[in-house]
Amino acid sequence: MEEKLRVLFTNFHRGNGGGHDTYVMNLVTGLKPAHQVAIAAPKTSRLFRLASGHAGVAVTPVDFAPRGLGWLREIWILWRLISLGRFDVIHVNGSADHKLVMLVRMIALRRPRIVYTKHNDHRCRSFGNWLRAQFGTDHVIAVSDYVAAKLRNSTYRRVPVSTVPHGLDTAYFAPPARTEVHALRERYFGMDRACTVFVSSAGTRYEKGWTDLLEAIAQLPGRLRSGVRVVLAGEAPLPCMTAKVAELGLSEQVLFTGLLDDVRPVLAAGHAAFVLSRSETLSFACREAMAMGLPVLVSDAGGLPENVTDGQDGWVMPCADVGALGRRLAQILAAPDRLVAMGAAARVKSEACFGMAAFIGGTLAVYQAVLEPDTYKPLPAALAETSGR
């Protein structure tokens, strides 16, 4: 699409939006050289802070889930933004912003097309989803084939669905120099460089499955257990979780870094990464780790297996199966030299399949679908293959 587009991205999170924030910022970065982009998000959100630092990106504070009479103020702000913004497409990313955009578009002076990205695997058969599918959605983007299959069996089956997996800047997320790796491991764990470091930037919520990994480590024979270190990037864990770490006897082997804007130092310190979620649609954290040259241990939940070729650039494990995890860890720790070759394979796959070009191109193809339906051609099969299978 050669014509310059005006695109408004919305997101409802008031604090850390996790993968939503990464998704929107990657699209903004990829689109803004050739198109005009804007963001509407709560002023307290991480997305608002990140976007406010980007030249050429208009950012408007909008609370998509206000209380009481606050609805009137937010509706007025969004009405002005949509009516005067001359947007071609509004790209929504959650139920709260989707709902308010749908309602305001009905009364706005302009009616941009609405594209909805389904980021989670929550059921979408409610009356609210039916309303949004009927009156507030022109096209749905699924971030994985797993999500696309769920959408086609939901209230969104009347709406065109395209799979456009996450893309990232593989030059930014790139394997570090060996000297940097040694320095980071020394920074995190002192001079103990003989350890094997497992890292994750997927967050510290219980459903991310990191406690399963710690339980599996705790069950390893003493010699293997003592040589493992774990680094977790994300919001501070709940006290009950840190108590669990202490109960397992791993307090000295587990490091919580806190929430980071740049997760590359954490990933660079690792020998391998893990995303062992109870539910997951695709995972930026997995793809970022693979781009950094790390094999990734993933659960078989949702779309996670679409990233990894088991035994080649990572491992696919039964979800929440601590026994299977322990056996796999013992195999990994018994042959640590394999991690280098598997990490190299992960990097090769990321360069071939996870880059920004397919991500931006696929998203623009969806915009073309809603703006020029008569000339729209379905996304080529090659785009679906960017999931890495």
**161: in domain:** yes
- Asked if 208 and 316 sit in the same domain, the reply is yes
Asked if 155 contacts 131 with a C-beta cutoff of 8 angstroms, the reply is no
The set of residues, in sequence order, having a beta carbon less than 8 Å from that of 117 and lying 6+ positions away, is: 23, 91, 92, 93, 140, 141, 142, 143
- Asked if 296 and 219 sit in the same domain, the reply is yes
**162: in domain:** yes
pLDDT at 79: 98
**37: in domain:** yes
- Asked if 304 and 248 sit in the same domain, the reply is yes
**172: in domain:** no
- Asked if 27 and 99 sit in the same domain, the reply is yes
pLDDT at 171: 97
- Asked if 245 and 122 sit in the same domain, the reply is no
**291: in domain:** yes
* Strand-pair partners of 40: 10, 60
Distance CA 344, CA 350 (A): 10
- Indicate the DSSP class of residue 151: H
- Asked if 359 and 349 sit in the same domain, the reply is no
pLDDT tens digit sequence for 291-326: 999 999 999 999 999 999 999 999 999 999 999 999
**Positions in the chain whose pLDDT score sits under 70:** 1-2, 191-194, 374-389
- Asked if 27 and 73 sit in the same domain, the reply is yes
Distance CA 43, CA 55 (A): 18
- Asked if 216 and 123 sit in the same domain, the reply is no
- Asked if 127 and 227 sit in the same domain, the reply is no
- Asked if 154 and 198 sit in the same domain, the reply is no
- Which amino acid is present at 297? L
**344: in domain:** yes
The DSSP H or E segment spanning 40 is: strand 36-41
pLDDT at 239: 94
- Asked if 35 and 89 sit in the same domain, the reply is yes
**173: in domain:** no
Distance CA 173, CA 293 (A): 9
Domain count for the chain: 2
- Asked if 207 and 154 sit in the same domain, the reply is no
pLDDT at 378: 57
- Which amino acid is present at 362? G
* DSSP character string of 69-129: THHHHHHHHHHHHHHHS--SEEEE-SHHHHHHHHHHHHHSSS--EEEEEE-S-----SHHH
pLDDT at 190: 79
pLDDT at 376: 54
Range of the domain at 278: 178-353
3-state DSSP: the chain helix, strand, coil percent, rounded to 5? 45, 15, 40
In this structure, what token pair is assigned to residue 323?
A: 């026994």
* Strand-pair partners of 298: 275, 316
CATH code: domain of residue 44: 3.40.50.2000
Query: Which candidate, 274, 270, 225, 276, places its Cα nearest to that of 252?
Result: 225
**1: in domain:** no
pLDDT at 381: 43
